[in-house]
Amino acid sequence: MLLIIAAGLAHGVSGTALVDPTFNVLKTRTGTYTNVTVTTRAESYIYIFHSAGMTSIRITDLPVEVRQQLGYATPDTPKPRKTNDVTTVTARELTGVSQRLKPLEDTLKRRWHWNRPDLRISTEVLCTLLGIVGLLYFFTCYCCHLICFKAKSPSSFLVWVPVLQLLPLLRAANMSGWWFLAFFVPGLNIVALVLWSLNIVKARGKHIAWAILLILPVTNLLAFLYLAFSSGADSNLPPPKISSKFQTRGLQIA
C-alpha cells in the first residue's frame, strides 16, 4: 500500500511539472499568435502550437514578461553612465535631433524625387555652350592683343595663352614681370591690379578716370573694351614734356 501511494504521489508531481504553458495571445517581434501552447523550451528557442499551425520562436524575440513566465532569465538593463563630457552630451543631443528630423527628411526626399525634372543636357546644347565660351575667350585675347599693340608694346603669342597673357599686359604697362606673381597673392593682387590699371591707362594716353573705371568690378568691362578699341591718346590731355637735352639734339640736327 505504501508503494502504491508513493507511486501515485510521484505521478501527480511529474504530471503537474509537465503541464505546457498556454497563452491566448502571444505577441513577439516577428508576429502575433493566438491559442498558443508551448511544447518545447530549449536554451535559445521555444516550440509552440497555435491556431494556424506550429512554429519555433527565438527567446530574444519574446517579451520580457513571457520570458519570466517560461522561466528564462532576463538580461539586466544596463544603467546609463553619468558623464560630464561636453562632446558626448552634444553628440547625444544631435542624434536626437536627427532622429526627430528623419521623417521630415524622408518626406522632402520623396517629394523631390517625384517632382524634380530630369536635368539632361543634349550634345547640341553642350557644343553650343562650349562654342560660346570659346568665342568669349578668343574675343578677350583679341582685346588684350589690341591693348598691347596700341600701347606700343612688342607683340607676343602669350596673349592667347590663359593666365600667361598677364605677362604681355604687364610689359605693355611698363611694369616688371615679377608683378605676375603678385596677382596670385591675396591682398597683394589688389595692389598689382591698381598699379597695372594706372600704368596701362597712362601707356594708352587716356584720362586717369578710365583707370578708376578699370578697377571697379562693374565698370571694368566697359573700360577694358574702351582701351582695346579706342583710338590713340585723348586730345584733351596735355602734350608730353620733352627734355631740354632732347630739344638741343633736335636743334643740332635741324
**Total of domains in the chain:** 2
Look at residue 75 in the predicted model and tell me its pLDDT: 63
The torsion region of residue 205 among left (phi > 0), alpha (psi -120 to 50) and beta comes to: left
Kindly state the percentage of the chain with pLDDT values over 70: 69
Distance CA 79, CA 117 (A): 51
pTM for the structure as a whole: 0.45
The three-state secondary structure class of 23 is strand
Would you say residue 22 lies in a domain? Answer: yes
Average pLDDT over residues 119-135: 86
Contact status, residue 153 vs residue 171, Cβ threshold 8 Å: yes
Are residues 220 and 140 part of one domain?
yes
Would you say residue 64 lies in a domain? Answer: yes
Would you say residue 189 lies in a domain? Answer: yes
Phi, psi of 211 (to 5 degrees): -65, -40
Distance CA 140, CA 135 (A): 9
Distance CA 47, CA 38 (A): 6
Are residues 209 and 128 part of one domain?
yes
Would you say residue 137 lies in a domain? Answer: yes
Kindly state the percentage of the chain with pLDDT values over 90: 34
Are residues 225 and 161 part of one domain?
yes
Would you say residue 254 lies in a domain? Answer: no
Average pLDDT over residues 202-212: 92
Q: What is the mean pLDDT of the chain?
A: 77
Instruction: Count CB neighbours of 59 within 10 A.
Output: 17
Determine the structural domain holding residue 55 and report its residue range: 10-69
Would you say residue 207 lies in a domain? Answer: yes
CA-only gyration radius of the chain, Å: 46
Average pLDDT over residues 100-115: 66
Phi, psi of 59 (to 5 degrees): -65, -35
Lowest-confidence region among 102-111, 124-133, 163-172, 241-250: 241-250
Q: In angstroms, how far apart are the furthest CA atoms of the chain?
A: 164
Q: Does 124 have pLDDT greater than 90? A: no
pLDDT band at 139 (very low <50, low <70, confident <90, very high): very high
Are residues 38 and 133 part of one domain?
no
Would you say residue 169 lies in a domain? Answer: yes
Q: Does 16 have pLDDT greater than 90? A: no
Would you say residue 225 lies in a domain? Answer: yes
Look at residue 80 in the predicted model and tell me its pLDDT: 56
DSSP code of residue 54: E
Which tens digit of pLDDT belongs to each residue from 141-160? Answer: 999 999 999 998 887 889 89
